[in-house]
Amino acid sequence: MIFWVWVFGLIYAGLLVFASLKSYKKNRSSEEFMMAGSNIGLTLGVLTFAAALFSTFTFLGMPDFFRINGVGAWIFLAVSDGAMVFLLLWFGYHIRNRVKGMEFRGVSGLISRCYENKLAGYVFFLSAFLFLIPYVGIQIQGIAIFMDAAFPGSFPAWGWSAGIVLIMLVYSEIGGLKAIIFSDAIQGLLLLGVIWIIGWACLSHFGGIGPMFEKVGAMQEDLLSTPGPQGLLTPQFLIASLIAILMIPVTQPQFTTRIVVMKSMKTMQLMAVSLGAFAILVILPTIFIGMYGADLYSEYGRDEFFANAFLYDQPDAVAALAIIGLIAAGLSTTNAQIFALGSELRGLLRGNENSIMRKTKIGIFVFSIIAFFFSIIVFDQLVLLARVSFAGTGIMGPMIILGILSDRKVSPAIIYFSLGGLLVFLSSLAGFIPDMYAGLRLDLLLFVSLGLVALISHLTGKKQQLVPPVKDR
């Protein structure tokens, strides 16, 4: 296998170096560095959005989620993604119209401007920081676990994590967002190819889709229906997950940035449709891998299942591709998230452009280091931590949608309510307060309450005369 890892690894590294150098310009402006010149076409747009969205969370997390919770996992992610691409169409139109004629400096900067209140930007940045960093950390950890299984005893897990963070930093520093988008294109295709090769091998183990479900059903019938053997996938959990995933393009800055930097409205629309098709294609083989795990490794822990299904049970070349595919999946998502945090920080800074860029790059470095430490200390199911990340940032959804869509002068109350909602959600995660009230999940209650506050704020807001957007200073 080592031979194949070197072969695929060198090809992959070569493509990354090529993408960085192709994106590198000596005297590039900060706009070119942070926003890729806002000129991304359809193919790159689809692949970068998909690569940022489908990470180790999909590659490793979803097979594990299917293995443990059964077929309802499809509703959790694929139906939610289908609804998300429809929302992307609607929200993408509005946000692109909103930023037309001004320099987009991240959601924090935009939302501060919409409310004419800096606190709005700070609250959004706080939520992005608090919920993206652990998510980045667990993805780095996922790669480290996998590498440790592939090369036992060669490096400690933290050594792999440090290496990944280092590659991410060097790479984004050289090429900026454009390099990240180019690498996403490579990684998106690689992810799709590898997940299908492994998925197909797992399906072949059963001899077809029908026999697969027949065998799994005979062993554990609960896997074939909701709420699944652990009782997790209840309608309430799935509805709250749908809302959290719907809010991804609105509240996760790496996605909002990608909507804005698309070349035109038309390419953004087609990107939404293609992304929906890509989602179905990527999630489908994770069912086969999950059912394979349920058949052979139902009693195993997460790490053993990953190591067996993706490495030991596969031919050497496929196992090597899985390693490279996983690194690609993790790297594309983590650098998109870390870079987006840097971009959000930039939107909040004022002063000389050179000084802002220097502080932004220092910020990206600091975020990476914090994510590295999280990768060593966090331990959770990939999918559930990702869901917490989506829900945590999703709390900001009503504030952002109101700020961008409302043509009225609205009360800043939603900013304080969103901050309050964030603190309440954090308190529940820390175990200080319960996460269920009158039989209802706290995250669902927060989404509904903040949505109502946003609606009331809009209805009671003063109508204002529309003025043409002012060029950003």
Partner 1 sequence: MEKKKLYWRICCVAAIGLCILTFTPLVIPQGIATPALGGVPYSLWTSFIITVLLVVLTYIGTRVHPGMQNEEEL
78 binds partner 1 (CB under 8 A): yes
Binding test (CB under 8 A) with partner 1, winner from 116, 152, 153, 210: 210
- Considering the complex, what minimum distance in angstroms separates the CB of residue 128 from partner 1? 24
**Under the phi-then-psi rule, with left for phi > 0, alpha for psi from -120 to 50, and beta for the rest, what region is 116?**
left
Three-point CA angle 222, 135, 416, nearest 5°:
105
- Considering the complex, what minimum distance in angstroms separates the CB of residue 96 from partner 1? 6
Interface residues for partner 1 in 407-466 (CB under 8 A)? none
Binding test (CB under 8 A) with partner 1, winner from 188, 276, 392, 421: 276
Q: Which two tokens stand for residue 124?
A: 């959004």
End-to-end CA distance of the chain: 54
CA distance 337 to 129: 10
Of the pair 92, 176, the CB lying nearest partner 1 is at 92
Asked if residues 78 and 283 have their Cβ atoms less than 8 Å apart, the reply is yes
Q: Which DSSP helix (H) or strand (E) runs through 241?
A: helix 235-246
CA distance 192 to 54: 10
- Residues 279-308: x where in contact with partner 1 by CB under 8 A, - otherwise, as a string: xx------x---------------------
Binding test (CB under 8 A) with partner 1, winner from 45, 61, 63, 72: 72
Binding test (CB under 8 A) with partner 1, winner from 242, 364, 383, 399: 242
Q: Which DSSP helix (H) or strand (E) runs through 462?
A: strand 462-463
269 binds partner 1 (CB under 8 A): yes
Burial 221-260 (b: 16+ CB within 10 A, else e): eebeebbbeeebbeeebbebbbbbbbbbbbbbbbbbbbbb
**Under the phi-then-psi rule, with left for phi > 0, alpha for psi from -120 to 50, and beta for the rest, what region is 40?**
beta
Binding test (CB under 8 A) with partner 1, winner from 9, 163, 217, 461: 217
CA distance 398 to 394: 8
Of the pair 80, 112, the CB lying nearest partner 1 is at 80
Binding test (CB under 8 A) with partner 1, winner from 7, 17, 42, 89: 89
Asked if residues 336 and 187 have their Cβ atoms less than 8 Å apart, the reply is no
Binding test (CB under 8 A) with partner 1, winner from 29, 97, 460, 464: 97
95 binds partner 1 (CB under 8 A): no
Asked if residues 150 and 16 have their Cβ atoms less than 8 Å apart, the reply is no
- Considering the complex, what minimum distance in angstroms separates the CB of residue 70 from partner 1? 8
155 binds partner 1 (CB under 8 A): no
- Considering the complex, what minimum distance in angstroms separates the CB of residue 209 from partner 1? 6
Question: What's the number of CA atoms in the CB half-sphere (13 Å) around residue 290?
Answer: 25
CA distance 144 to 138: 10
- Considering the complex, what minimum distance in angstroms separates the CB of residue 440 from partner 1? 14
Strand 462-463 relative to strand 440-441: parallel, antiparallel, unpaired? Answer: unpaired
- Considering the complex, what minimum distance in angstroms separates the CB of residue 235 from partner 1? 5
102 binds partner 1 (CB under 8 A): no
222 binds partner 1 (CB under 8 A): yes
Sites of contact with partner 1 (CB under 8 A): 38, 71-72, 74-75, 78-79, 81-83, 85-86, 88-90, 93, 96-97, 100, 208-214, 217, 221-222, 224-227, 235, 238-239, 242, 263-266, 269-270, 272-273, 276-277, 279-280, 287
